[in-house]
Structure 1
Amino acid sequence: MGGAFVAAAILARLGGRIGLPTIPLFILAGILLGPHTPGFVLLDDPHDLEMLSALGLVLLLFYLGLEFHMDDLKTGGRKMVVAGTAYLVLNVGAGLAFGFALGWGTSEALVLAGVLGISSSAIVTKVLVDLGRIGNPETKPILGIIVVEDIFLALYLAALQPVISGADDVGAMLLDIGKAFGFLLLLAIAARWGTGIVGRLFDTKDNELLVISFLGAAVLVAGIAEKFGVADAIAAFMVGLILGNTSSRGRVLHLVHPLRDAFAAIFFFAFGLSIDPGDLPSVIWPVLAAVVVTLSMNVLAGLFAARIYGFGPEPTANVATTLLARGEFALILATMAAAAGLDARLSPFIAGYVLILAVVAPLIAGRSYWLARLLPGGKVTAERQREEEEQPTPAAR
């Protein structure tokens, strides 16, 4: 664990000097010190960091929930659902079509639909934090799309497992979906009407007790959620959403920062440990084609969200590029596919696809203004900005 922290810090420090975001560098540290690359191996088994990695994901989404307000759901919930549904239809639909076009099989196509269709909640959250965009107007739709994706994810996993494993028990599948939906409904009820009770439970002036309380609540609810077939990420988000509407919100935000940053670094480092770059050459062309498909669908989804919210070219570009990364969910699907004995090409394909987008997406998100110039109205906006920059300041005049 100490080696992971030090390696991530050194690479991130070097990358920061040339303006690179931390996420791809944390991942790169894991790849370089993992069992799949030559040289010193820090960890032979990536699962050794599994619990710490899971904690990193939980804290990232817990923080995201704290930043999200119930008022945002009340006033803009319908728009968020529409934008999130459109994102899923475009990306999951394109992933399914791409899977069938590859000709690897129906079960494989269903797996690829999820791989290409669902963004990485962890990377999206970290990108928003690193780029200082938490307060931007387009961030609320981005978070809304992530929430819709995670709800879809819980139901999708419950339905997919019996399909790819060849199970014929439709009743068991419906029961799993019902349990996942029921647990999500309980969390939603707690977020809507339970904040008063929760606020009193967490009302303490002792920072130590507050840290233990919110950390215990986030991790416990995330663990229970997994038992019900719900992604731990969405459960942690809901706990953050509930606490974000209590009087303790400001202190919790302050106290969770160092925990979030430390364990997020472990999450991305462990993510890199699980990737074998040597598998990439055998599936490089399908991987590159999938990256192009994902880029195209994200731009279309960004344009659709912009139409709903009335955004200009810059917020539109931010929506399209921030949601680009794929990550933890794709790796879960790769594990499921391998256990079900699906096409052997799926695992290296998913690893290569995730690696490229996990590294490239934060870089593209940080330079979203390039895309903004190509969108309708973007050229006019860029020229206006240039004119404003060329005008002398009041002091100079």
Structure 2
Amino acid sequence: MGGAFLAAAVLARLGARIGLPTIPLFILAGILLGPNTPGFVLVDDPHELEMLSALGLVLLLFYLGLEFHLDDLKTGGRKMAIAGGSYLALNVGAGLAFGFALGWGTSEALVLAGVLGISSSAIVTKVLVDLGRIGNPETKPILGIIVVEDIFLALYLAALQPVISGADSMGAAALDAGKAFGFLLLLAALARWGIGVIGKLVATRDNELLVISFLGIAVFVAGVSEWFGVADAIGAFMVGLMLGSTSSGDRIRELVHPLRDAFGAIFFFAFGLSIDPGDLPTVLVPVLIAVVVTLAMNVLAGLVAARLYGFGPGPAANIASALLARGEFALILATMAAGAGLDDRLAPFIAGYVLILAVLGPLAAGNSHWLARVLPDRGGPAAQPQEHPQAQPQKGTPPRD
């Protein structure tokens, strides 16, 4: 574990000198030091870091929930639902069509619909934090799309499992979907009406007790969410949404930073451990086609969301590029497909597709101004990308420390 932290830190430091984002470098560290590449092997079995990796994902999404205010959800819920639904319709629909066009089979096409359709919540969160865009106006629809994706994810997984495993019982699938949806409704009710009670439970002046309290609640609810068939990420997100609205919210945001950064790095490192570069050449052409399809669908989805919110080409480019990366969910689907005995080409395809977009996504997000130049300008506000707004004080206003 110490070697994993150090390897990620060394590569990230080198990358910072030449302006590369940290996410692909953390992943590269995992690839180079894992069992699938020649040379020194730091970790023989990726499962050795599985629990720490899961904790990294939970903390990344917990932080995302802290930054997503309930007032935003109340006032913009309809727009977020439309933006998220449009994103899913474009990307999942394109993924399904691509899967059938490959001719690998119906079950394989259903898996590819999810692989191409769902963004990586962990990478999107890290990109927004690294680029200083958490406070940007276009971040609200980005977070809204992630929430809609995670809700869809819970229902999609419940419906997909009996299909790819050849189960005949649609009643069992409906029961699993109903259980997941019921738990989501419970979390939503707590977020809506239970803030006062939750705030009293975690309130303390002692930072040590506060860290133990919010970490325990986030991890516990994430685990219970998974038991109900809901992604642990959405459970952690909902806890962050609740705690961010309490009187302790600002202190929690400050205290969670080092935990988020440290275990987030392990998440991406472990992600790299699971990738075998030797399998990629056999599926290179389908992977490149899928990447192009995803780029096109994300640009369309970004334009739809920007039109919905009245944004110009800059925010549209930010939305399209921030949501481009694919990651942890695609790997979950690869594992499910392997366990169900589906086409052997699925696993290397998913690994190559995810690796390219995990690298391309952060790079595209950091250079979204190039995309903004070619997008149509409908005259909406905030027509230019806004990065690091805190570093651009207004004229006559002294910069903040």
Shorter-chain TM-score above 0.5: yes
Structure 2 partner of 1:30: 30
Aligned AA (1:55): L
Structure 1 partner of 2:389: none
> What secondary structure, in the 3-state scheme, does the structure 2 residue paired with 1:342 have?
coil
Aligned AA (1:102): L
> What secondary structure, in the 3-state scheme, does the structure 1 residue paired with 2:302 have?
helix
Task: Confirm or deny: 8 A CA contact 1:53 1:263 kept in the other structure.
Answer: yes
Q: CA deviation at 1:120?
A: 0.1
Structure 1 partner of 2:173: 173
For residues 231 and 320 of structure 1, what CA distance do their matches in structure 2 show?
24
Structure 2 partner of 1:365: 365
What fraction of aligned residue pairs are identical, expressed as a percent? 82
CA deviation string 1:129-164 (max 9, x = no partner) = 000000000000000000000000000000000000
CA deviation string 1:86-119 (max 9, x = no partner) = 0000000000000000000000000000000000
Question: After the TM superposition, which parts of structure 1 deviate over 2 Å for at least 4 consecutive aligned residues?
Answer: 377-382
Structure 1 partner of 2:2: 2
2:284 is the alignment partner of 1:284: yes
Aligned AA (1:256): V
Task: Confirm or deny: 8 A CA contact 1:372 1:378 kept in the other structure.
Answer: no
Structure 1 partner of 2:230: 230
Structure 2 partner of 1:239: 239
Aligned residues: 384
> What secondary structure, in the 3-state scheme, does the structure 2 residue paired with 1:247 have?
coil
Q: CA deviation at 1:379?
A: 12
For residues 376 and 225 of structure 1, what CA distance do their matches in structure 2 show?
41
Aligned AA (1:132): G
2:143 is the alignment partner of 1:143: yes
Structure 2 partner of 1:163: 163
Aligned AA (2:306): A
For residues 364 and 378 of structure 1, what CA distance do their matches in structure 2 show?
22
Structure 2 partner of 1:74: 74
Structure 2 partner of 1:356: 356
CA deviation string 1:279-300 (max 9, x = no partner) = 1100000000000000000000
Q: CA deviation at 1:360?
A: 1.1
Q: CA deviation at 1:378?
A: 9.2
Structure 1 partner of 2:65: 65
Measured on the aligned residues, the alpha-carbon RMSD in Å equals 1.4
Alignment of 1:6-17 (within 5 A): 6-17=6-17
Change (3 A) 1:379 1:137: closer
Aligned AA (1:375): L
Structure 1: where are the runs of 5+ without partners? 383-392
Task: Confirm or deny: 8 A CA contact 1:373 1:379 kept in the other structure.
Answer: no
> What secondary structure, in the 3-state scheme, does the structure 2 residue paired with 1:167 have?
coil
CA deviation string 1:218-242 (max 9, x = no partner) = 0000001111110000000000000
> What secondary structure, in the 3-state scheme, does the structure 2 residue paired with 1:374 have?
coil
Alignment of 1:1-397 (within 5 A): 1-377=1-377
For residues 52 and 25 of structure 2, what CA distance do their matches in structure 1 show?
18
Q: CA deviation at 1:177?
A: 0.3
Structure 2 partner of 1:387: none
Structure 2 partner of 1:390: none
Q: CA deviation at 1:377?
A: 2.7
Structure 2 partner of 1:389: none
Aligned AA (2:77): G
For residues 29 and 109 of structure 1, what CA distance do their matches in structure 2 show?
31
Task: Confirm or deny: 8 A CA contact 1:124 1:323 kept in the other structure.
Answer: yes
> What secondary structure, in the 3-state scheme, does the structure 2 residue paired with 1:348 have?
helix
For residues 379 and 221 of structure 2, what CA distance do their matches in structure 1 show?
47
Task: Confirm or deny: 8 A CA contact 1:314 1:378 kept in the other structure.
Answer: no
Change (3 A) 1:179 1:379: closer
CA deviation string 1:173-211 (max 9, x = no partner) = 011001100110100000000000000001100111000
Aligned AA (1:174): A
